[in-house]
Protein backbone atom coordinates (compact mmCIF):
# COMPACT_ATOMS: atom_id res chain seq x y z
CA UNK A 1 0.00 0.00 0.00
CA UNK A 2 2.83 2.41 0.75
CA UNK A 3 4.01 2.77 -2.87
CA UNK A 4 0.45 3.53 -4.02
CA UNK A 5 -0.19 6.03 -1.24
CA UNK A 6 3.18 7.72 -1.78
CA UNK A 7 2.54 8.00 -5.52
CA UNK A 8 -0.87 9.58 -4.93
CA UNK A 9 0.62 12.06 -2.44
CA UNK A 10 3.45 13.07 -4.78
CA UNK A 11 1.43 13.13 -8.03
CA UNK A 12 -1.72 14.71 -6.55
CA UNK A 13 -4.03 13.48 -9.31
CA UNK A 14 -7.44 15.16 -9.57
CA UNK A 15 -9.32 11.91 -8.85
CA UNK A 16 -6.98 9.68 -6.80
CA UNK A 17 -9.55 6.94 -6.18
CA UNK A 18 -9.92 6.42 -9.93
CA UNK A 19 -6.28 6.80 -10.97
CA UNK A 20 -5.64 4.20 -13.70
CA UNK A 21 -3.09 2.02 -11.92
CA UNK A 22 -1.98 -1.31 -13.38
CA UNK A 23 0.01 -3.81 -11.30
CA UNK A 24 2.54 -6.14 -12.90
CA UNK A 25 3.85 -9.27 -11.23
CA UNK A 26 7.10 -9.72 -13.11
CA UNK A 27 9.55 -12.58 -13.60
CA UNK A 28 6.85 -15.25 -13.50
CA UNK A 29 9.34 -17.52 -15.26
CA UNK A 30 11.24 -17.84 -11.94
CA UNK A 31 10.30 -20.29 -9.20
CA UNK A 32 10.93 -18.11 -6.14
CA UNK A 33 8.05 -15.66 -5.74
CA UNK A 34 7.92 -12.84 -3.22
CA UNK A 35 4.15 -12.36 -3.65
CA UNK A 36 1.71 -15.11 -4.59
CA UNK A 37 -0.71 -14.67 -7.48
CA UNK A 38 -3.66 -14.94 -5.10
CA UNK A 39 -2.29 -12.30 -2.73
CA UNK A 40 -1.68 -9.87 -5.61
CA UNK A 41 -5.15 -10.48 -7.06
CA UNK A 42 -6.86 -9.96 -3.69
CA UNK A 43 -4.92 -6.74 -3.08
CA UNK A 44 -5.71 -5.39 -6.56
CA UNK A 45 -9.38 -6.22 -6.14
CA UNK A 46 -9.47 -4.41 -2.80
CA UNK A 47 -8.05 -1.28 -4.44
CA UNK A 48 -10.91 -0.55 -6.83
CA UNK A 49 -10.17 -3.62 -9.01
CA UNK A 50 -6.77 -2.53 -10.31
CA UNK A 51 -5.88 -4.62 -13.39
CA UNK A 52 -3.22 -7.22 -12.55
CA UNK A 53 -0.92 -8.96 -15.01
CA UNK A 54 1.68 -11.62 -14.38
CA UNK A 55 4.49 -10.95 -16.80
CA UNK A 56 7.82 -12.20 -18.04
CA UNK A 57 9.89 -9.94 -20.27
CA UNK A 58 12.24 -12.88 -20.86
CA UNK A 59 9.43 -15.09 -22.20
CA UNK A 60 7.36 -12.17 -23.59
CA UNK A 61 4.34 -13.16 -21.49
CA UNK A 62 1.59 -10.55 -20.96
CA UNK A 63 3.93 -7.59 -21.54
CA UNK A 64 2.08 -6.34 -24.61
CA UNK A 65 -1.33 -6.93 -23.00
CA UNK A 66 -0.30 -4.94 -19.92
CA UNK A 67 0.88 -1.96 -21.97
CA UNK A 68 -2.28 -2.05 -24.09
CA UNK A 69 -4.35 -1.89 -20.90
CA UNK A 70 -2.25 1.01 -19.60
CA UNK A 71 -2.71 2.91 -22.87
CA UNK A 72 -6.45 2.17 -23.01
CA UNK A 73 -6.98 3.33 -19.42
CA UNK A 74 -4.93 6.50 -19.96
CA UNK A 75 -6.89 7.35 -23.12
CA UNK A 76 -10.19 6.66 -21.37
CA UNK A 77 -9.28 8.98 -18.52
CA UNK A 78 -8.10 11.66 -20.97
CA UNK A 79 -11.42 11.45 -22.81
CA UNK A 80 -13.31 11.86 -19.53
CA UNK A 81 -11.24 14.96 -18.69
CA UNK A 82 -11.90 16.44 -22.14
CA UNK A 83 -15.64 15.85 -21.78
CA UNK A 84 -15.65 17.47 -18.35
CA UNK A 85 -13.79 20.50 -19.70
CA UNK A 86 -16.27 20.83 -22.58
CA UNK A 87 -19.36 20.38 -20.40
CA UNK A 88 -18.59 21.57 -16.88
CA UNK A 89 -21.33 21.56 -14.31
CA UNK A 90 -23.55 24.65 -14.40
CA UNK A 91 -22.96 27.31 -11.80
CATH of residue 38's domain is 3.40.50.300
The residue among 29, 54, 27 whose CA lies nearest residue 39 is 54
Report the Cα–Cα distance between both ends of the chain, in Å, rounded: 38
pLDDT at 11 over 60: yes
The model carries a pTM of 0.71
Q: What is the pLDDT of residue 91?
A: 58
pLDDT grade, residue 32 (50/70/90)?
Answer: confident
Please give the residue range of the domain that contains residue 15: 2-86
Has residue 53 been placed in a domain?
yes
Count up the domains in the chain and report the number.
1
Cα–Cα dist 28/30, whole Å: 5
Has residue 55 been placed in a domain?
yes
User: CB–CB of 4/47 below 8 Å?
Assistant: yes
Has residue 20 been placed in a domain?
yes
User: CB–CB of 22/51 below 8 Å?
Assistant: yes
Has residue 91 been placed in a domain?
no
Amino acid sequence: DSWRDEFLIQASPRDPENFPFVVLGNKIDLENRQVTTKRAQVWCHSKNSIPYFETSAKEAINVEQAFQTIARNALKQETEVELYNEFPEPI
